[in-house]
A and B are shown apart, each in its own frame.
Chain A
Amino acid sequence: MSRTLRLLRTMPPSALVGATVIVLYVLVAVFAPVIAPYPEREVVGAQYLEWSSEFPLGTDSLGRDMLSRLIYGARNTIAIAFLATTLAFVLGAVLGLLAAVLRGWVDQVLSRIVDVVMAIPGLIFILLLLSVFGTSITTLVLIIAILDSTRVFRLTRAVAFGIVALDYVEAARVRGEGILWVMRREILPNAMPPLVAEYGMRFCFVFLTIAALSFLGLGIQPPAADWGSMVRENATLITFGDITPLLPAAAIAALTVAVNFVVDWMLHLSSGLKE
């Protein structure tokens, strides 16, 4: 506990702000029904109403309350990104560790598959798969998780390769320890710092990808509130100089900035006493 506190005190301002923002977002996402003044999908007024005391951020193209949708949007957008990232991570990290420990043909086969998948531009491959499998939340999460796990695989494999070469892992192997023990007790704990930082970066990437897809109308589907689609639905207002449609975009940006600030600090920590 005191260790955590000491760590918090050494946080630079940017990371501290980032951490605070992340906590805020999570709170908003969890308590959305309590905080939001109106329901997520109900038409409560006329279209494109201006900001007022009744509708603090006005209404959208269908007459739904902008603020409420923004709050519910946190829930949908973050939850899906979180799910996809975690899935990608479990998949990529387990396969990456296996490739590093087993080497030989397992590593060869996995690495070549990953090479080929990564030779196709990510967003474009996702679009191809979406047009084949259709745009449901499940396919969206699965496609993104599988494609993104390739990057996690590469990092985990590289980090684990470095650790496998160390004497303490060799000592465990010639002691006769099983593969799982070596992976879980010798390699994973030492691979954690870069992996945790990578989790943050992957989350940002996945989050931005989903936002982009929703913005293109190919991600999270209406009537669910989602920040990417909210920008798209109300974009016309921008040509009249109204910044309301930019608010969901700013909400996305603020979260990714926050996560990146924290990740940056973690990377700095795990790179050791660079300064």
Chain B
Amino acid sequence: MRDIVQLVIRRLLLGLLTVLAVSLVIFGAVSMLPGDAAQEILGQAATPESLAALRLQLGLDQPAWLRYLHWLGGMVQGDFGTSIANGQQVSSLIGERLANTLFLAGLAAIIAVPVALVLGILAALYRNTLFDRAISALTLTAISFPEFFVAYILILFLSVNLGIFPSISNISPGTEFWERVYRSLLPAAALSLAVIAHIMRMTRAALVNLLGLPYIEMARLKGATPRRAVVVHALPNAVAPIVTVVALNLAYLITGVVIVETVFVYPGIGKLLVDSVSKRDLPVVQAVCLVTSLAYILLNLLADVVAIISDPRLMHPR
């Protein structure tokens, strides 16, 4: 037990280290801006006064390491700097949008994960049958589709032709919960499809990999039904790979929202990012990048910890 606590603590520290390294990379990437950042951002037409003001605002008169420490210190305290485009606090720009995005991603996850796991287990159980082949071809197709394709198909059928859902997810802070769910359902569905396909395929693969092992044959020789062999004997051993792939896909949702939010004009962090990139609003881009990386690292951390706990070899050492 002591070993496992140590292992988890070590993993947590590693996560913290990763966060630091990632912040350094993100900061470093922005510092690599060729030439004078202020000049780059404002373009040739900039007046000397506005250039000087922006330089001061970006802290370009200070050495890079000092700027990094300032920036990081600010981040830790929730101060993400000010937007270049409109002078607003970055934190206030991100805050509400982040909540919207998490709501959308959460909704997609609630739809996708159970469906994917059940389908994956069924496909492993009925492997090499028509059902398995059909679902394998379908999911492969789903993975291959660009997100905006899926999103527009959904819009075409469910909102333009049938008029069931709105094609634009108009959400504001005052929107009531179920109304919010209703308006987010179409983007969530668009996000879910690829995630379902990925998780389902990996679940099936993780299970099928185990089915060739001697202890599964042993279960069958002891008289276990195929269902018992898969669900009782194989599944507990597939927890680690499945959890890893679920975490990976939840993290993927964060990237996926960029496209889907743009299609549905959903007021989330992805839409903000795309707008800021076109405006080269670097403080905002930097902040969004860091926040999403944080979520990404956290999810992977969680998956690793679950994998550690689910392994009896680690939980019950010799």
Contact = CB atoms under 8 A, between A and B. Distances in A.
Interface stretch (A55-63, A166-174, A254-262): A254-262
A253 B18 contact: no
Nearest to B253: A121
B258 to A, nearest CB: 6
Interface in A235-264: 235, 238-241, 243, 245-246, 249-250, 252-253, 256-257, 259-261, 264
A153 interface: no
Nearest to A275: B128
A92 B168 CA distance: 41
B160 A128 contact: no
B144 A121 contact: no
Contact of B259 (A212, A235, A250, A274): A212
A124 interface: yes
A124 B212 CA distance: 39
A144 to B, nearest CB: 14
Contacts of A46: none
Contacts of A131: 276-277, 280, 282, 285
A215 B259 contact: yes
A208 interface: yes
B42 interface: no
Contacts of B144: 204, 208, 253, 256-257, 259-260
B273 A127 contact: yes
A121 B288 CA distance: 11
A124 B148 CA distance: 17
**Which of B136, B251, B274 has the most chain A CB atoms closer than 10 A to its own CB?**
B274
Nearest to A128: B289
Nearest to A245: B152
Given A132-B29, A246-B153, A120 B289 contact: yes
A128 B156 contact: no
Q: Is the interface of A mostly helix, strand, loop or mixed?
A: helix
B30 to A, nearest CB: 6
Interface residues of B, number: 54
Interface stretch (B19-27, B54-62, B214-222): B19-27
Interface in B8-39: 18, 21-22, 25-26, 29-30, 32-34
A115 interface: yes
B277 A130 contact: yes
Given A115-B18, A121-B255, A127 B274 contact: yes
Q: Which of A133, A208, A245, A260 has the most CB of B within 10 A?
A: A208
B293 interface: yes
Interface string B117-147: 0000000000010000000110011011111
Given A14-B137, A116-B25, A120-B296, A125 B289 contact: yes
Contacts of B83: none
Contacts of A249: 146, 148-149, 152
Given A116-B21, A245-B152, A249-B149, A216 B274 contact: yes
A275 B258 CA distance: 40
B255 A235 contact: no
B278 A218 contact: yes
A220 to B, nearest CB: 14
B148 A215 contact: yes
B108 interface: no
B155 interface: yes
A211 interface: yes
Given A128-B289, A131-B280, A120 B148 contact: no
Given A124-B254, A218-B274, 13 more contacts: A115-B18, A123-B255, A124-B258, A128-B286, A131-B277, A131-B280, A132-B32, A216-B277, A228-B148, A238-B152, A256-B145, A260-B143, A275-B128
Closest CB pairs A-B (n = 3)? A256-B144, A249-B149, A257-B144
21 contacts: A116-B22, A120-B289, A120-B296, A121-B252, A123-B255, A127-B289, A128-B289, A131-B280, A208-B144, A211-B146, A212-B147, A212-B259, A215-B262, A218-B278, A239-B160, A241-B156, A241-B161, A245-B152, A250-B149, A256-B144, A257-B144
